[in-house]
Chains A and B, each alone.
Chain A
Amino acid sequence: MGTPVVKIENLVKRYKELVALDHFNLTIEEGEVFGLLGPNGSGKTTTINCLLSLLAFDKGTVEVFGKEIRPDSYDIKKRIGVVMQNVAVYDELTVYENIDYFCGLYVKDKATRKKYVQDAIDFVELNDFVKFYPKKLSGGLLRRLNIACGIAHKPDLIILDEPTVAVDPQSRNKILEGIQELNRQGATIIYTSHYMEEVEQICTRIAIMDKGKNLAIGTKDELKQMIKKSETISIEILDLADEDLKAIGKLNHVYEATYENHTLKVLCSGGKHNLPHVLEYLQSKNIPFDRVYSELPTLNDVFLEITGKELRD
């Protein structure tokens, strides 16, 4: 394994009494799409700001491309692209001028810059809007412009801080597809979000954060294997006797069964064919049932089991 792209060790950041990052550790390898997942206020953006040497921190080390990053680490910064949570473009410049301006902070050669700017415009599909001012763009198009400004110089490491906040589903899909394409082109991606579906969809490895701590880290499958629940079965039943509920709770791999609002909910841990086993029991007792659902665990379940609260709280 080569030098990690990002290595954060024992990072502590305090805002007066509040501990925003509590001995936080993280290593990101080249070529990863790394997801930082956590609720609002969990420390994701603080981590990114420390990583970019914008924020002073109290303790720990931050290395990017094998070197400690400082405000004047121009050789490192040259290889980083950042898409901020808030849209960071000039209202007085057109779409083209904004991308050219931010690209120009990294690329001096005019011919190269012109090509890069056009590539970025093609990438975010803003060709029809190059002469538009940002105020004339919809929320989704504005987010795409924000991304183009951050990635136009073709960086090796791209940091995207909640780039899909307040974006319509169509634009969101385009953004997520674009991020995967950037990764295929060779960029390492750090993606922060509190939308677990997005993180599940695009990230190869995920760290779950809360209260400035790294609670769990791994691929989505590895994270799901960390928790007890492997399947949730929901069945609509008009009436269910207590003895039947108790009997279902004693089936193999079932660790919890509840009946509320005419819905039987069965939580299973491991095992296979859990659904057929429950349905067989109901049929054997001539208990009529209506719709049946089976859900695999989500990252929210992982977060819920680790912290005792919902990710969306």
Chain B
Amino acid sequence: MFFHSFIYTLKTLIRDKGQAFWCVLFPIVLATMFNFAFGNLDSNEAFSAIDVAVVIEEGKETEALQSALDSVSAEGENQLLNISYVGREAAEKMLAENKVVGILTAGDQLTLKVSAAMKNSKLEQSILKVFTEQYNLYAESMMDVMKTNPAGVMDLINQMNAEANYVKHKNFTEGNISAALTYFYNLIAMACLYGSFLGNSLAHYGAANLSAIGARRLVSPVNKFVYDIGSVCAAIVMEVVSITLSIFYIRYILGIDFGNQFGYVLLTVFVGCVLGVTLGYFIGNIGTASSQVKFGILISSTMICSVLSGLMFNGMRITVDQFCPVINKINPAALISDSFYSLVIYPDHSRYFYNVIICAIEAMVFIIGSFLLTRRKKYASL
């Protein structure tokens, strides 16, 4: 009976166009939209040298400034500025045309002019401001020392050179911590939870008060437990194949890197799909509301879970962790996406397996709950 149920359930699910849309097409369409929306998220965060125009006023001594500017504009990974030495008029024109972020003018002091219209360059403007202020501070200190203690100039220069940066940049992990990637993890988590629609469909066709097919099945001499396990397994297979297709699409068509632990990725997908299908099966077997009402409940609850796990806003999970951390410990979407995340971030798998085990426990609760709800059931009304 298990195989009879498994094969025919799989046939009906594969041929159901509505289910095919939610399981296969919807995650692919959403992933494509995500790729358009978040594809440049990481490149936006990367730093590039700031374009700046430098104007040197006539008759001014600029040797020290030239030296400083040369050091910060030297090509390499530490290049801060990309300098154009131009006249006043040309510099103003370049600023007006947004070709430079600001104009540095070497006069009695180094001054900075930026355009208020360049709202997207606030960070670069701040860097230029800090550079200008620091240069002027050093220059002033040098002048004071030269006036009061010319012999101490060399000491001052040595001190300046000796200023060390005690903070060293070090990556927390060797993995890819792309911000965009977390959106795709959440998308896959949501797609796994969409397996609940399949579970709800199974419950619909197994209940005499919801469908004529359910009534016909319940009057047959079939062990409901064995039959339903066959159906649930078929739905899980359908869902796993769908999500794996989506992952292949994201990996190979959209070019989003899921890391090199593909076996663990598949395990996460499998557990996520089991959780999704059993969640839908459980909700589908509760109460006497119609399947459409239960579908509505499922679509809204999966959406809420996904939003709380960070599908819409990357920092949401941190916010939830601050105000109600238990939600992240039980939210299926958060557990699934965090499993993907921890695969990339952490060198060991302890957090990954913690998430996977919690998912498995939740799925067990849902499936046992479903059987208790439907076991030897007689209806009050049909």
Q: Which residues of A contact B (CB under 8 A)?
A: 15, 45, 49, 52-56, 70-72, 74-75, 77-78, 80, 82, 84-90, 92-93, 97, 101-102, 104-106, 108, 149-150
Contacts and interface: CB of A to CB of B under 8 A. Distances in A.
A91 to B, nearest CB: 8
Interface string B210-247: 01110111111111000000000000000000000000
11 contacts: A54-B219, A55-B382, A74-B221, A77-B219, A77-B221, A84-B215, A86-B212, A89-B213, A90-B12, A92-B12, A105-B1
A97 B11 contact: yes
A86 B216 CA distance: 10
Interface in B199-214: 208, 211-213
Given A52-B219, A84-B216, A149-B216, A15 B11 contact: no
A53 B378 contact: yes
A106 B221 contact: yes
Contacts of B169: none
A285 B211 CA distance: 66
Contacts of A101: 4, 8
Given A49-B382, A84-B215, A93 B221 contact: no
A7 to B, nearest CB: 18
A282 to B, nearest CB: 56
Contacts of A97: 8, 11
Nearest to A81: B219
B83 to A, nearest CB: 69
A280 B7 CA distance: 75
B219 to A, nearest CB: 5
Contact of B211 (A56, A70, A74, A88): A88
B14 to A, nearest CB: 8
Contacts of B379: 49, 54-56
Given A88-B213, A89-B213, A80 B219 contact: yes
Contact of B220 (A55, A86, A102): A102
**Across the A-B interface, the 8 shortest Cβ-Cβ residue pairs:** A88-B212, A74-B221, A92-B15, A105-B220, A56-B378, A86-B212, A77-B221, A92-B12
A54 B208 contact: yes
A71 B221 contact: no
B216 A90 contact: no
Nearest to A49: B382
Given A70-B376, A78-B221, A84 B212 contact: yes
B16 A92 contact: yes
Given A56-B378, A93-B8, A101-B8, A75 B221 contact: yes
A305 B220 CA distance: 40
Contacts of B215: 54, 82, 84, 88
B251 interface: no
Given A74-B221, A82-B219, A90 B382 contact: no
A72 B376 CA distance: 7
Interface string B347-382: 000000000000000000000000000001111111
Interface string B268-307: 0000000000000000000000000000000000000000
Contacts of B1: 105, 108
Contacts of A74: 221-223
A75 B222 CA distance: 10
A54 B218 contact: yes
Nearest to B222: A105
A77 B224 CA distance: 13
A125 B16 CA distance: 27
B193 to A, nearest CB: 23
A92 B219 contact: no
Nearest to B381: A15
Contacts of B381: 15, 55
A71 B222 CA distance: 10
Contacts of B15: 92-93
Nearest to B211: A88
Contacts of B13: 92
Contacts of A49: 379, 382
Contacts of A56: 378-380
B229 to A, nearest CB: 15
A82 B216 contact: yes
A242 B50 CA distance: 118
A25 to B, nearest CB: 21
A141 B71 CA distance: 88
A55 B381 CA distance: 6
Contact of A77 (B208, B220, B380): B220
Nearest to A71: B376
Contacts of A52: 219
Nearest to A82: B219
Contacts of B4: 101, 104-105
A86 B215 CA distance: 10
Nearest to B218: A54
Contact of B217 (A45, A105, A108): A105
A28 B329 CA distance: 59
